Amino acid sequence: MSAVLEQAIVLHRSSPRSSKPAADVAWTVDAIQALFELPFPELLFRAQTVHREHFNPSQIEFATLLSVKTGGCPEDCGYCPQSASFDTGVKASKLMELEEVLFAARRAKDAGATRFCMGAAWREPKDRDIEKVAELVNAVKGLGMETCATLGMLGEGHAETLRDAGLDYYNHNLDTSPDFYGDIISTRVYQDRLDTLARVRSAGVKVCSGGIVGMGESHRQRAGLIAELANLSPYPESVPINNLVRVEGTPLAEQAPLDPFEFVRTIAVARITMPKARVRLSAGRQQMGDAVQALCFLAGANSIFYGDKLLTTGNPDTQADVDLLHRLGMRSGAPEVC
């Protein structure tokens, strides 16, 4: 084991219940890269050990994601079929009506989902947009579900309005490492994303933030993404890890698939560096297969997006997810931090 990794592990173990290492020592990119480079069995053992310290390892959270406003986004994120810059066949739509959203939320709850996430393809919502989404949040919260929204960058007062409506989580992914970000997106800078997360945290709303792997980033740049997330103070309560879905018409449509073991390693490193977060298998599950998903659960993933569609891309059939957990002797339910 490298001296860099050994030092990082010792520092973190000295304060196991803290969201940061002892004396606020940050996770360095070198230390996280050293984790990635551990032998696969050793890395999974370490991740599962950390996971069991904080969660029931047999319980998986079901969250459902609904696109409440699809397409027409002015951003040029190279992975996104909702960008107006790319011809992907996604048609722009207006914000869904309240009853449509409530119908979807009730179906999700009846199917076993405990968190309902609403996504809208905006660069930055206007005040009037926030007011309308706040109505949706309040109505879904009334069903007894956890609520989450992802609406793009937030302006002053937006997070507070959503909080007052009952929003539990706000999702805003960092996507990748700072030094690779400009290769994927040109219409906003990394600091814009960090500023939105700061507004969310300041308002007292829980943070949901993760990234996408398999976009052509280097091994070290994947470590850089995890370092950015793990060193947020505190780190996100929810960390979605997406495996790139290669959508025809986007600049990344021909990107070579990521080695599935590298994806599992990313889950394991996220678990070790953010021990009390819910680490979610997000986009790309449909292409993984059952065996890789099972390895991800072993590596510390304890949340999945549940339902046959994410914002615009496919997702495993809901019954297939239920059957998989049954075959693994696992069950659905909101994991509680020990």
148 is catalytic: yes
Cis peptide bond N-terminal to 275, omega within 30:
no
- d(CA 165, CA 141) in angstroms, rounded, equals 8
Catalytic residue, chosen from 46, 115, 163, 208, is: 208
338 is catalytic: no
CB burial class (10 A; 0-12, 13-18, 19+) of residue 141?
middle
Catalytic residue, chosen from 77, 271, 278, 296, is: 77
- d(CA 335, CA 278) in angstroms, rounded, equals 8
117 is catalytic: yes
Q: Which residue, 57, 2, 44, is CA-closest to 272?
A: 44
Catalytic residue, chosen from 193, 278, 280, 285, is: 280
How far is the first Cα of the chain from the last one, in angstroms, to the nearest whole number? Answer: 29
73 is catalytic: yes
- Torsions phi, psi of 123, nearest 5? -75, -50
Token pair recorded at residue 45 = 């053992």
- d(CA 62, CA 216) in angstroms, rounded, equals 29
- d(CA 139, CA 275) in angstroms, rounded, equals 32
Catalytic residue, chosen from 46, 115, 117, 285, is: 117
Q: Which residue, 299, 196, 189, is CA-closest to 241?
A: 299
Residues 302 and 293 sit within 8 Å (Cβ to Cβ): no
Catalytic residue, chosen from 73, 115, 163, 199, is: 73
Bridge partners (DSSP) of residue 60 are 332
Helix (H) or strand (E) holding 199: helix 190-202
Helix (H) or strand (E) holding 285: none
Instruction: Give me the active site residues, please.
Output: 73, 77, 80, 117, 148, 208, 280
